[in-house]
Amino acid sequence: MDKVEVLNLVPKFLSFYNLANNPGVDVEKRWALWEEHYNFAAVPPGEEGRMIARNLLGAAWESYANHLSFIEKWEPNLEIVRDFLSKVKALLGYDQPIDFVVVYFVGGFENNPFVAPFDVERLALCLPIENGDSEIILAHELTHIVHAQTANLTAEWERTIASTILQEGLATRVSQFLIPGHPDELYIEHKKGWLQSCKEDRAEIIPGIFPFFDDSSSEAVTKFTFGNGTANHDREAYYVGWELVHFLLAQGVTFKEMASVQEKDIPGYLRDIFSKNVDVSLNLRV
């Protein structure tokens, strides 16, 4: 049986907020209190992530007051987690128990859940709560949890760009399959207009990422997720994954087959797909 532990960081956030939401607490003091009493955000590791977290806090600060009542009353719902976990496992063909931790936290309204190592043996599914519950987000992130088992993924921040592409493509399309009927943007878009903008520049985005398939540096992962890729779009790995998995599904490749590709083999797997499809950068969609 799956073992799901809960780590609720919401009370920790509220403690920070109550300390920081006082007259005389300026921006510098507020940041110092955040680092001392909360210090949790959906950002890359290192100094760059620290600066992103500070910017997120600054941008979100005024909005917290309007959502405070909801945050204070919010409670975890493990039943829905278990329900979607069973659905994702069935879709990816995994029948072994999974032991992981669900970390609930208050983010900066950027709607950025993530999966990361929790300890030596377990992964953490980190879900922001300030925007309310989303079945699409839950299905997406649980796909990462199950995919980590089927493909022996490291789940570390540093992973090949090819692995990042397949992971995000699988997660976005699985969530679309399990919760159908919504506009495409709802499954992948983080800001209005992003998906259409990527479509317009697909002829640059898709071939531009090819040379980075084997690159697992923190700089490359940041470039194609948080930062701007070769075509000057953020999250280009997400877009390429979205298109890639759509193409494979149309060719009859199942979610289970994609999820079974081992992490060490993913760069070669993607290269093989692209090499067999002439002008795939323009015609990946079928």
Residue entry with tokens 């009370």: 11
Evaluate if residue 227 carries a pLDDT over 90: no
- Mean per-residue pLDDT, 23-31: 96
Percent residues over pLDDT 70 in the chain: 96
Q: Express each pLDDT in 247-265 by its tens digit.
A: 999 999 999 999 999 999 9
User: What is the SS3 assignment for 75?
Assistant: coil
Instruction: Indicate if the alpha-carbon torsion angle 181, 133, 185, 88 is positive or negative.
Output: negative
How many angstroms separate the Cα of 81 from the Cα of each of 5, 32, 142?
11, 34, 8
Supply 275's token pair.
Answer: 């090499």
Q: What pLDDT was estimated at residue 190? A: 83
Q: Express each pLDDT in 67-94 by its tens digit.
A: 999 999 999 999 999 999 999 999 999 9
Ordered by start, the domain boundaries in the chain are 3-150, 161-283
Q: What pLDDT was estimated at residue 184? A: 97
Evaluate if residue 157 carries a pLDDT over 80: no
Q: What pLDDT was estimated at residue 44? A: 83
Q: Express each pLDDT in 126-145 by its tens digit.
A: 999 997 778 999 999 999 99
How many angstroms separate the Cα of 270 from the Cα of each of 48, 145, 214?
29, 21, 10
CA-nearest of 135, 56, 54, 53 to 88 is 135
Phi-psi region of 49 (alpha: psi -120 to 50; beta: other; left: phi over 0): alpha
Q: Express each pLDDT in 236-247 by its tens digit.
A: 999 999 999 999
Evaluate if residue 267 carries a pLDDT over 50: yes
- Rounded CA-CA distance 81/76 in Å is 10
- Rounded CA-CA distance 180/91 in Å is 15
CA-nearest of 87, 123, 85, 88 to 102 is 123
